[in-house]
Chain A
Amino acid sequence: DAGVTQSPTHLIKTRGQQVTLRCSPKSGHDTVSWYQQALGQGPQFIFQYYEEEERQRGNFPDRFSGHQFPNYSSELNVNALLLGDSALYLCASSLVPSGSKNIQYFGAGTRLSVL
């Protein structure tokens, strides 16, 4: 049973560029959430996708966008990269987006460095 997989593992970009990160959820899961974890901080919620739509969003600018595909996999896109976007980006999957017993399973993350 495959867990949550993310690609690539590491990425180096320069300011102003655009980046796409990918995530495949755990088998059987239909909801994907994305988080940004800056050095020394806890994960910060970016947004959540369910049924190919963005359902919830955290306090992140529109430069951060996403997509979910029919097979439940997801992409995170960041445009006009800033130095402050350097972080570990985590993907988490779950069975349902809401409900009283939501448990998320996390991938290993993509380490993005913006130079």
Chain B
Amino acid sequence: AQSVSQHNHHVILSEAASLELGCNYSYGGTVNLFWYVQYPGQHLQLLLKYFSGDPLVKGIKGFEAEFIKSKFSFNLRKPSVQWSDTAEYFCAVFTTSGTYKYIFGTGTRLKVLA
């Protein structure tokens, strides 16, 4: 069955620390990859996306993610986190062959200490 795994459920960092959140998916076909963020009290917002081309994609607020096809991974990174990055982060895969649907991971709650 298709699935998305996020390895870290809770992450606590101090400001200026580097961040890497893992995401792996299981799906053999062509996929589009996304990271969504949900700030406290707000709705899900798109952070960044990968469709094709350069596997290193840059998103808003200094976030980036790298697609490694051989590892079925799409890890999210940020060199230096800020207190305002405190949020829940969801990795999502959109399957583009056969059935067209989003599959979300279970999310990672990030808390950044000021």
Please list the residues of chain A having a beta carbon within 8 angstroms of any beta carbon in chain B: 4, 33, 35, 40-45, 48, 55-56, 58, 90, 92, 97-109
Contacts and interface: CB of A to CB of B under 8 A. Distances in A.
Contacts of B45: 106
Which of A42, A97, A101 has the largest count of B CB atoms less than 10 A from its CB? A42
A56 B104 contact: no
B80 interface: no
B51 interface: yes
B94 A44 contact: no
Contacts of A105: 46
A98 B45 CA distance: 20
A42 B106 contact: yes
B96 interface: yes
Interface of B: 4, 6, 30, 32, 34, 36, 42-46, 49, 51-52, 90, 92, 94, 96, 99-107
B104 A43 contact: yes
A36 to B, nearest CB: 11
B102 A104 contact: yes
A42 B38 CA distance: 11
A102 B43 contact: no
15 contacts: A4-B43, A35-B104, A43-B104, A45-B102, A48-B101, A55-B100, A58-B101, A90-B44, A97-B100, A98-B100, A99-B100, A100-B96, A103-B46, A104-B102, A106-B43
Contact of B32 (A41, A42, A43, A102): A102
Contacts of B102: 33, 35, 43, 45, 92, 104
B46 A42 contact: no
Given A41-B107, A42-B106, A109-B43, A103 B100 contact: no
Contacts of A104: 102
